[in-house]
Amino acid sequence: MDISIVIPLYNERESLTELHTWIKRVTEEKKLNYEIIFVDDGSNDGSWQVIEELQSEYPEVKGIKFRRNYGKSPALFCGFKAAQGDVVITMDADLQDSPDEIPALYQMIKDEGYDLVSGWKKKRYDPLSKTLPTKLFNATARNASGIHNLHDFNCGLKAYKKEVVKNIEVYGEMHRYIPWLAKNAGFTKIGEKEVKHQARKYGKTKFGLNRFINGYLDLLTLWFLSTFGVKPMHLFGTLGSLMFLIGLISVMIVGGNKLYYISNGLPHRLVTDSPYFYLALTSMIIGTQLFVAGFLGELISRNSEERNKYQIEKSLNIKDLA
């Protein structure tokens, strides 16, 4: 099969038939063998009934329905798991992503050898309250991930090699960082294509401003996991040792200062009367706690089944790598 088109959706009943017709026209014009996988993320507007009607008439239509609303990342995870095409394309169901982009995205994967191609909606039909935070978010994501050629990490219109979607785990709300997940899995040829942004035709957006807050929290999580996920002692041990050393030196200074006054017969006060003693003691305690946190993290990491799971692309004359 040439293409699997994975479409996560939540309450998009009005657009589904039109979207399917559009995809069908574009793919059949290019003589592409395809499947459409609709993933209904717990819709309550009758979206699933529309999917069932489409599937009864068109065998290329497939569907997955969640019992409740889990979010876009779980929907993509299940869609990726079910996809059979050599190239997997994702798009939103609200008609803001144009199916006319599918052939060009497919060619970039098949002919130009990209592992992943992300869409870039350079001209957007969104309010300023949405576009400005998006630009700031993308700038931060570029610097944190090191993928400097992408302008829009969160664009729903993307194309992947089949191997990419089968070797990454999209969970929580990490769909925003799929290019980074792919890079961490060893798929480094990541490209971008400028795509057309359609104005929303039906319904209203399902995302609020809280997604930007969640996006930055997820960014910090992904940075930590990709940098220190299998070696937490490198972070907590370093910080703990530094804090403990600062506290120890401070205690020595406070104690040495008192000894100086005593040896010279000068008036002096108790060490515990100095606020610097308590600051130093607090620093040593925090340093010890951080070091112990790193040690516990190492123990947990060593017992993880994922610790020695590596992305092996090819092997020669090797019978078993399990």
Q: What is the pLDDT of residues 111-130, one digit of tens each?
A: 999 999 999 988 776 666 66
- pLDDT for residue 275: 86
List phi, psi (to 5°) of 266.
Answer: -90, 150
pLDDT for 58: 95
66 with 182, same domain: the answer is yes
Same domain, 9 and 95: yes
User: Are residues 284 and 251 in contact, defined by beta-carbon separation less than 8 angstroms?
Assistant: yes
Residue 313 lies in a domain: no
In total, the chain counts a number of residues equal to 322
CA pair distance 84, 174, nearest whole angstrom:
22
Strands 61-65 vs 34-40: parallel, antiparallel or unpaired: parallel
Residue 321 counted as domain residue = no
Task: Convert the pLDDT of each residue in 199-244 to its tens digit.
Answer: 767 766 655 556 667 777 778 878 877 777 668 888 888 999 999 9
Partners of residue 218 on adjacent β-strands: none
- How distant, in Å, are the alpha carbons of 18, 142, 169, 195, 217 from that of 98? 12, 25, 26, 8, 30
Same domain assignment for residues 272 and 189: no
Q: Are 237 and 91 contained in the same domain?
A: no
Do 44 and 166 lie in one domain? The reply is yes
Residues 6+ away with beta carbon under 8 Å from 307: 230, 301
| Residue 186 CB-half CA count within 13 A | 9
- Residue 9: in which H helix or E strand, if any? strand 3-9
Instruction: State how many domains the chain has.
Output: 2
Which of the residue ranges 81-85, 244-248, 303-307 would you say has the lowest mean pLDDT? 303-307
Q: Rounded to a whole number, what is the largest CA-CA distance in the chain? A: 100
What pLDDT is attached to residue 161? 96
pLDDT given for residue 272 in this prediction: 78
To which H or E segment does residue 61 belong?
strand 61-65
Q: Give the CA count within 13 Å in the CB-facing half-sphere of 176.
A: 23
d(C-alpha 316, C-alpha 232), whole Å? 34
What pLDDT does residue 32 have?
93
Choosing from 228, 262, 283, the residue where a domain stops is 228
Cβ-Cβ contacts under 8 Å for 184 (sequence gap 6 or more)? 226
Range of the domain at 271: 232-302
The arrangement of strands across the sheet holding 3-9 comes to 61-65, 34-40, 3-9, 87-90, 158-161, 116-120, 190-194
Residue 110 lies in a domain: yes
Secondary structure of residue 305 in the 3-state scheme: coil
Mean pLDDT of the chain: 87
Whole-structure pTM value: 0.76
State pLDDT tens for residues 273-321. 888 888 999 999 999 999 999 888 888 777 766 665 656 666 665 766 5
Residue 172's alpha-carbon distances to 80, 87, 198, 267, in angstroms, are: 15, 24, 27, 62
Domain of residue 152, CATH code = 3.90.550.10
Q: Give pLDDT, residue 103.
A: 96
* C-alpha–C-alpha distance, residues 57 and 46, integer Å: 18
57 in the same domain as 39: yes
The Cα 72–Cα 177 span in angstroms is 12
Domain boundary among 178, 204, 228: 228
Determine, yes or no, domain membership for 39: yes
Domain contains 309: no
- Residues 270, 211, single domain; the answer is no
Instruction: Say how far residue 98 (Cα) sits from the centre of its chain.
Output: 23
Per-residue pLDDT tens over the stretch 137-195: 888 889 888 999 999 888 999 999 999 999 998 988 889 899 999 998 899 999 999 99
What gap in Å lies between CA 197 and CA 219, rounded to an integer?
A: 25
CB distance 6 to 37 below 8 Å: yes
Residues 86 and 216 in one domain: yes
Nearest to 133 by CA among 141, 221, 175: 141
Of the candidates 170, 173, 169, which has an alpha carbon nearest to the alpha carbon of residue 215?
A: 173
Q: Are residues 45 and 85 in the same domain?
A: yes
Q: Is residue 102 part of a domain?
A: yes
CA–CA separation, 161 and 88 (whole Å): 6
| pLDDT of 9 over the 60 cut | yes
On the question of pLDDT at 19 being above 90, the answer is yes
